[in-house]
Structure 1
C-alpha cells in the first residue's frame, strides 16, 4: 500500500513559536510549515493555535484560532501542564481535516523525512483483543517509556512508568487519530492532585498532576474500550504492567529518532542520547504479557543516498572515481553525474555507457558552465534522503556511505563531517591525512547542535566533499555565485542556518587527488593567486551579509575566515608580498568584518607566533606547512590565529 501526500492532512498544533530556527531568518513554526510543504507537497496543512495569533506562513491551507484553555499550574514552582492545550488544538485540527490520513505535529517541531509513512504502510501487525484502532498509529519514541528498561536504567527510582507514550508526533487514519485525541479535558483537581498529597516514595515528577501528560492521553484514550485503573503516575503492579504492554504494543508503532526524523529544538541531542536506553522501539524483543502480541517489525525503510558529482574533463581518473562509488558496501544509493560541458571523447563515451548499463546512475547535461552550477543542478535533482557531493577525480572508501548513514541515523543529524586523506596522483602515496578534531565534550556522543561545533568545523576543511548532509539542509541558491575560488564557502555556511545537529566520523573516508591538473584539482602553478584572494574576500562578505548576527552560520564564517586568510598569506610567500597584492585591502576589510570584535582582544604572544610562522613561509611552502602544523599543536588554532591576523592587518 502506497500513501500519496495528497491523501494526508497535517495538523500543526500549539502556540506559534516566533524564536528563530537555528538562528536563521525563519521562525521555528515557519520552518515546521516549510518542511511539511517540502516533503509532503500535496498535503493539506492546518495550523491550529490560539486566538490572537497570526498565520505563520502563506503555505498553509487552513488557520484555526481556538480559545486557549490555558496551562494547569498548581504553584509558581510547578511545571506548566499543557495537556489541555494539546487536546484542544489537536482535536480542532483533526475535525477540520478532509483527508484519509492525518499527521499531528507540534508547532516547535520541524519534519526532516517521511520514512514513517513507509513504516506505517508496510505494517503487517494483526489486530488483537487489545486493539483499539483500525491500524496501529506511528509515534516517535522520545518520551515513550519502556517500563522494563526504565526500571533497569533507574534502580534508584524503583518504579516503572506505565502507559507513557510520546505526544509529539503521531500518524494514522483520521478516525484513529480522533479516537486517540478526542478526550475530556483534565480537571483542576487532577492537575493539582499532589498539592495536598505526598508523592510516591523515592519517585517524584516535577509536577503536581495525578498523571503525566503522556499518561493522561493514553489512559483516557484506552478507557473508551477498556477498564483502566491507574491511581497516579507511579501506580504499578504486575497485572497493570501486563495490560500497559499489551495495549501499547497493539496500538502503536514506536519509531526511533532516525526513522521518525524530526528536529526538536526543545531537546538537545545529548538529552535524547541519554534517554535512548529507556524508550520503546520497533525492535523490542522483551517478553510481552500475552502470546497474542506479535513481535514488532525489525526492519524499516533503508535511507537512500544521492552522490552528486559535476564532471568536466577528468579522464582518465573519472573511471576509478565512479568505480569506488559503485562498489560501495552500502547499496541503496544513486549516482547523479552532471556533465559540465566535457569534451573528452573517452569520458563522454563512458558516461553514455554508465547511463545505459546501471540503473543507479543518472547522467544530466548542464546548460550553464561551471562546477558550482553543475552542483546546483545535481543537488536540485537528487532524490536521496542524504547527499554527498564529490569531485570527479577523487576516490571514496569502500565503507564510506555505510559509515556516514550510520552516523546520521544514530544521532538524527543533518550534517555529518568526516575525515579525508590527500594522495599523489603519480606515486599513489598518501601525502597527509586529516580527521575532525573532536573536543572532550564530543568524545562520547560524537554529535552536538550546530552552534556548539563551529570551532571544530571552522578549523577543519570547508569543501563539499567532507560534508554528508540531509536533503534540504543546504540553500542551493548560494551555488549561483560567479566565483572561481571559494565558491563552496557560502553554501557550506548555509548548512549552519538550516541544520540542527552535526555528527562526526573521525576516519579518512575520502581520498583527495593532488599533483595533476584535472577537473577541479590543479597544480600550484595553475592557481591565479590574485583572483583567488579577490574571490575569498567576496565569499566572506556574502557569508556575513547572508547570516544573522551571532548565528551558527556567522560564528562559523567568522572563525573560518581567519584560518583561510592566514593560509593564503602563506601561499603568497609571506607578509611582504601579500601586502603588495591588489587584494590586500579587500582581504583586510573582509578579515575585520569577519572578526567583528574590538582590537583589545589582541595578544602579544600570538602576534609573535604568527610572525614567526609567516617568516618561515618566506622560505618555501613546505616549511610553511610544517610551521602551520606545529602552530596548531602549540595552541588553539582558530581563535589565536584570528587574534594574530588582526594584528597583522591592523599594522600593530
Structure 2
C-alpha cells in the first residue's frame, strides 16, 4: 500500500485567524483539521497555501508554529460574481486555482493530496482502495476480498436495495448503455501502464443526465493522485470575468431545466477546472455548463473511467462538516455519481478480472432509480413550460 511518507498534503483556502487553536470540530479551526489529517497520514508532508490578506495571531504566524512544513501566502485574486443569479456569495474559482496551483508547485513527493482548509481526513482508507484499483488496471488482477461482499453482508446489501436509503441506493441514464455494452471498446486485454487516476468524492461529481446537465463536473473538494497528474490538472488558467458573467449577455439554451437555469457563469467552477484537462486529452467537452449530446456524455463516461476513482465520503475518509447535510439528501444522492455508479463505468471500460458483482448489482439498481427520476424531471419540465410559457 502507498506509504504516507510519499504524500504531500496541500491544504488550500481561507483560514479564520480567530478560530485557530479553538478546538472547534466544525471545520473552522484549521489546527484541529490539521491534527486529524496528520493522525491519518502521520508521515506526510504538509503545505498550507492561503492568502496574504489577513494576519495570523503571533502564536501561529510561521509554518513551524502552525505545524506545517511550508506556508504560502498568496496575493488574493478576489472573487467573481456568484455563479447563479440571486445569490451574493462570490465565485471563488480563481482563489481556488491560485492557492491550489501554488501549493502543488512545491510538492516533490510521488503523491499529493489536495484538501480544503475547512475539511480533514479521518483515515487512510483511500490509499488502500487507490492501490487496489491501480493494480486491477495495471496488472489485470482480480479485485481483493476486501472489496468483495459475500454471505451475510451481501444479503444485507441486497435487502437494502429493495428499499432505497437516503445516501447510496440510486443510478443514471448516464450509465444506461453500460449494463449491455462496454463504455469503451477496450477488449484486447492490454493494460494501461500509464494509468494515473485522481481519486475524488462522489459529492459533487455530478451525473449530467439526471437533474443538472453538467458534464465534466468533477468534485474539487478533495483529490488524491500522483504529483505530476495533479500539478497538470491544476495548471488551468483563471476564469475570465466575461465567462463568469456569460449569461448576463446570453440567453439560456432550450435544455436549461428549472433546477439550473439561473446560471450566470458559462461553466460551473468544477467544469472550468476539469474541461481544460479533458480537452487536452481529446475528449469532446461542453461549450457551456449544460451543453450535452451523445458524444459529450460518452466522453464524460470515458473520462471518469480512465482518469478518476470516485469514492463515497466514508471510503475516502473525508470529513467536511460544512456539507454534512449531503449525506442524508435524497436529491444529491441521485444527482451525483457515487462509487457504485463509477465502478460500473470502470469495470466496463477496463474489463476487470473477477469484478465485484455486488457493486455491479447495486449500480444497476441505482441506474433504474435514476432513470425513473430523470423521466419525472422531464415530465415536470414539460408541465411547467406549459404553465409558464
TM range (shorter): 0.5 to 0.7
**Cα distance in 2 between the residues matched to 1:58 and 1:78:** 32
2:29 counterpart residue number: 28
How far 1:23 sits from its partner (Å)? 8.0
CA distance in 2, matches of 1:86, 1:223: 20
Partner of residue 46, structure 1:
47
Query: 1:108, 1:212 → 2: CA distance?
Result: 21
* Cα distance change on mapping 1:196 and 1:125 into 2, 3 Å: farther
Cα shift at 1:37: 1.6
| 2:295 corresponds to | 239
The 3 A distance-change label for structure 1 pair 96 and 276 is same
User: Which digits, 9 at most, give the CA deviation of each residue in 1:480-530, with x for residues without a partner?
Assistant: xxxxxxxxxxxxxxxxxxxxxxxxxxxxxxxxxxxxxxxxxxxxxxxxxxx
- Unaligned 5+ residue runs, structure 1? 301-652
Indicate which of 66, 85, 101 corresponds to 2:95.
85
Q: Any stretches of 5+ residues in structure 2 without a counterpart?
A: 139-183, 187-191, 359-389
Separation in 1, partners of 2:20, 2:202:
23
- C-alpha separation between the residues in 2 aligned to 1:3 and 1:227? 30
- State the match for 1:316 in structure 2: none
Deviations 1:80-109 (A, max 9, x none): 211111111111111111211101000111
1:7 is aligned to: 6
The aligned runs of 1:92-111 (5 Å cut-off) are 92-111=102-121
SS in 1 for 2:223: strand
Measured after TM superposition, the shift of residue 161 of structure 1 is 2.2
SS of corresponding position for 2:304: helix
- In the TM superposition, residue 221 of structure 1 has moved relative to its aligned partner by 1.2
Give the Cα separation in 2 of the matches to 1:58 and 1:289. 40
Residues 1:164 and 2:221 aligned together: no
Q: What is the Cα deviation at residue 207 of structure 1?
A: 4.2
* Distance in 2, Cα, partners of 1:213 & 1:8: 26
2:219 is aligned with 1:218: no
Contact conserved, 1:8 with 1:44, CA < 8 A, in 2?
yes
Structure 1 residue aligned with 2:15: 16
Superposed displacement of residue 291, structure 1: 5.9
CA displacement at 1:225 relative to structure 2: 2.2
Measured in 1, the distance between the counterparts of 2:335 and 2:18 equals 30
Shift of residue 198, structure 1, vs aligned partner: 2.3
- State the match for 2:377 in structure 1: none
Which structure exhibits the higher relative contact order, with contacts defined as CA atoms closer than 8 Å and separated by 6 or more residues? 2
CA shift for structure 1 position 292: 3.9
Q: Who is 1:126 aligned against?
A: 137
Displacement, 1:254?
0.4
SS of the residue 2:37 aligns to: helix
Quote the residue 1:419 is aligned against: none
What RMSD over aligned residues (CA atoms) do the two structures have, in Å?
Answer: 3.3
1:244–1:263: structure 2 CA closer, same or farther, 3 Å change rule? same
Task: Determine the structure 1 residue equivalent to 2:376.
Answer: none
What is the aligned counterpart of 1:71 among 73, 76, 79?
A: 79
The CA deviation at 1:282 is 2.7
Q: Structure 1: how far apart are the matches of 2:92 and 2:323?
A: 17
- 8 Å CA contact 1:285–1:295 kept in 2: the answer is no
The residue matched to 2:315 in structure 1 has which SS?
A: coil
Deviations 1:439-489 (A, max 9, x none): xxxxxxxxxxxxxxxxxxxxxxxxxxxxxxxxxxxxxxxxxxxxxxxxxxx
After TM superposition, the structure 1 = structure 2 runs for residues 260-339 of structure 1, keeping only pairs within 5 Å, are 260-269=316-325, 272-274=328-330, 275-284=332-341, 288=345, 292-294=349-351, 298=356
Partner of 1:190: 243
Which structure has the highest strand share of the two?
1
Q: How does 1:128-167 map to 2 (within 5 A)?
A: 134-148=195-209, 151=210, 154=211, 160-167=213-220
Counterpart contact for 1:211–1:233, Cα < 8 Å: yes
Select the structure of larger CA radius of gyration: 1
- Relative to structure 2, which stretch is displaced further, 4-13 or 45-54? 45-54
Cα 1:215–1:15 change in 2 (3 A) is: same
Alignment partner, residue 381 of structure 2? none
State whether residues 14 and 51 of structure 2, in contact with CA within 8 Å, keep that contact through their aligned partners in structure 1.
Answer: yes
Matched residue SS, 2:47: strand
1:255 shift after superposition: 0.3
> What are the residue-to-residue correspondences of 1:553-632 with 2, within 5 Å?
none
- Aligned pairs, number: 291
Output the TM-score relative to the length of structure 2. Answer: 0.66
Q: State the SS of the aligned residue for 1:171.
A: strand
> TM-score if structure 1 supplies the norm length?
0.41
